């Protein structure tokens, strides 16, 4: 497996290979996150969620990720359950190809994955239940009592197993960011006190993995948890999540990332003051900024729905040519978002997605003008250099 991880020197070297994109502020440093302050990360990242779990999609994804990494994208995001482990393997193949060709170095790219959902291996087995019993239950990796909703687990033994599989799939000794995938799924099945115990135990396992050099940082990748109101199902207060990280790793804990949907149709990460910080009601992005957490935006195009015609006032304010470009510009320009993830399943997607990167992010006041009553917000983009 390839050794190393993303570093300040490596990501700056990568950034400087693209002077036009650098000058357009496509790369930014999350200076409010102590451990990441010197990393130069692309404002657009490669997502790998959609697509069929078949060989044709594998070839297209591998080619697309390689093209993205050659073109100015140095954040790649995946999960072990995406396309039955195939997306991780596609990223691994693209990285291996470029590193072997001398076109990329390991320390230039931030590679992120996730675990939490039960997943198959490449293909759907004839008997899914028998597969999980043989692969996970019989070896003692998985206790059925630890599964929530028939599909989700964040028990320490299971996470340790998934990290090893992800490292093998990616061909990397160290995964830069490892997310606990949609932990709020468990809230429908266990009482809040049990959920906190499970989350703390999961974080303790991720702290162990960080200490062993298998991952660098960890976080939570969510769908509803940080967007919905406190009385809604699936809500997770960031303050309580951070406390679990303290319990697991002390002041030197490695909880440094959150991932949540952020797009024109789902702006709650910035627009909803649903989190508490000391005595203030603030948004999730503001909380992340104040606490020193990097926020990554997912679902930038809402799985393609925002690639259609948008209201004229959006196009007028953001100034891009197409609906998809305006949607990407909206997400990458948001105060507090480090990187906006965009699906890149085919090489032609990369060129279209990166058309936005040659333009500076929207000015903060121009961006805020899309909202009638903008709340207080985090600093716009960190250090763009």
Rg (CA), the chain: 20
pLDDT attached to residue 303? 82
Helices and strands, number each (H, E), in the chain: 14, 13
* Contact in structure between 1 and 167 (CB atoms under 8 Å): yes
Three-state DSSP class for 104? coil
Residue 263 and residue 296 in contact, taking contact as beta carbons nearer than 8 Å? no
Pairwise CA distance, residues 295 & 269, whole Å: 10
Quote the CA–CA distance of 345 and 132 in Å, as a whole number: 28
Q: Which of 225, 212, 43, 41 is nearest to 116 (CA)?
A: 225
Which tokens in the block code for residue 209? 């993995």
Query: What's the CA gap between 187 and 166, in Å, rounded?
Result: 25
What is the C-alpha separation between 204 and 115, in angstroms, rounded?
A: 15
The CATH T-level fold of domain 8-133+164-181+256-384 is: TIM Barrel (3.20.20)
Alpha carbon distance 340, 330 (integer Å):
9
Do the strands 44-47 and 337-343 form a parallel or antiparallel pair, or are they unpaired?
parallel
- Token pair 């597969």 is found at 131
For residues 78 and 68, the answer to whether their CB atoms sit within 8 Å is no
Q: For 176-206, what is the HEC assignment? A: EEEEEECHHHHHHCCCHHHHHHHHHHHHHHH
Give the residue carrying structure tokens 């809402």.
302
Q: What is the per-residue pLDDT for 385?
A: 46
Is this structure's pTM higher than 0.85?
yes
Structure tokens at 247: 């319990």
Asked if residues 248 and 287 have their Cβ atoms less than 8 Å apart, the reply is no
DSSP state of 371: S
Check residue 381 and give its pLDDT: 55
pLDDT score, position 374: 45
**The pLDDT value given to residue 75:** 98
Residues whose CB falls within 8 Å of the CB of residue 138, separated by 6 or more in sequence, listed in order: none
pLDDT at 49: 96
Name the helix (H) or strand (E) containing 343.
strand 337-343
Q: Per-residue confidence of the chain (385 residues) as pLDDT tens digits?
A: 999 999 999 999 999 999 999 999 999 999 999 999 999 999 999 999 999 999 999 999 999 999 999 999 999 999 999 999 999 999 999 999 999 999 999 999 999 999 999 999 999 999 999 999 999 999 999 999 999 999 999 999 999 999 999 999 999 999 999 999 999 999 999 999 999 999 999 999 999 999 999 999 999 999 999 999 999 999 999 999 999 999 999 999 999 999 999 999 999 999 999 999 888 999 999 999 999 999 999 999 998 888 888 888 898 899 999 999 999 999 999 999 999 999 999 999 899 999 999 999 999 988 998 986 544 544 545 555 4
**Secondary structure class of 269 (helix, strand, coil):** helix
- Which secondary structure element, helix H or strand E, spans residue 280, and what is its range? strand 280-282
How many Cβ atoms are within 10 Å of 165's Cβ, its own excluded? 16
């Amino acid at each position: 497996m390839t050794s190393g991880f993303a570093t300040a020197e490596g990501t700056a070297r990568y950034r400087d290979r693209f002077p036009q994109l650098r000058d357009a502020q496509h790369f930014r440093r999350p200076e409010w996150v102590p451990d990441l302050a010197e990393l130069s990360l692309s404002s657009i990242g490669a997502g790998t969620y959609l697509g069929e779990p078949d060989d044709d999609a594998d070839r297209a994804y591998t080619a697309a990720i390689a093209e993205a990494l050659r073109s100015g994208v140095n954040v790649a995001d995946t999960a072990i359950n995406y396309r039955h482990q195939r997306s991780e393997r596609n990223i691994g193949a693209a990285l291996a190809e470029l590193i072997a060709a001398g076109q990329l170095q390991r320390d230039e790219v931030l590679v992120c994955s996730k675990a939490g959902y039960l997943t198959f291996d490449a293909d759907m087995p004839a008997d899914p239940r028998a597969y999980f019993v043989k692969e996970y239950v019989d070896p003692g990796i998985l206790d059925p009592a630890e599964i929530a909703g028939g599909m989700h687990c964040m028990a320490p033994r299971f996470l340790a197993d998934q990290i090893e599989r992800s490292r093998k799939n990616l061909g990397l000794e160290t995964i830069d960011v490892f997310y606990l995938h949609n932990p709020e799924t468990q809230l429908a099945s266990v009482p809040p006190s049990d959920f906190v115990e499970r989350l703390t135990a999961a974080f303790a396992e991720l702290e162990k993995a960080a200490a062993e050099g298998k991952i660098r940082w960890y976080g939570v990748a969510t769908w509803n948890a940080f967007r919905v109101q406190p009385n809604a199902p699936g809500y997770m207060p960031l303050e309580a999540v951070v406390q679990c990280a303290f319990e697991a790793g002390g002041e030197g804990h490695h909880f440094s990332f959150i991932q949540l949907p952020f797009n024109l149709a789902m702006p709650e990460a910035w627009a909803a003051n649903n989190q508490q910080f000391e005595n203030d009601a603030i948004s999730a992005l503001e909380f992340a900024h104040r606490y020193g957490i990097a926020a990554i935006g997912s679902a930038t195009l809402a799985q393609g729905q925002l690639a259609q015609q948008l209201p004229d006032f959006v196009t007028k304010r953001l100034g891009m040519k197409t609906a998809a470009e305006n949607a990407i510009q909206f997400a990458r320009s948001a105060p507090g978002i480090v990187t906006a993830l965009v699906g890149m399943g085919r090489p032609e997607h990369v060129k279209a997605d990166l058309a936005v990167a040659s333009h500076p992010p929207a000015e903060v006041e121009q961006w805020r003008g899309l909202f009638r009553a903008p709340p207080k917000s985090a600093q716009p983009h960190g250090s763009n250099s």
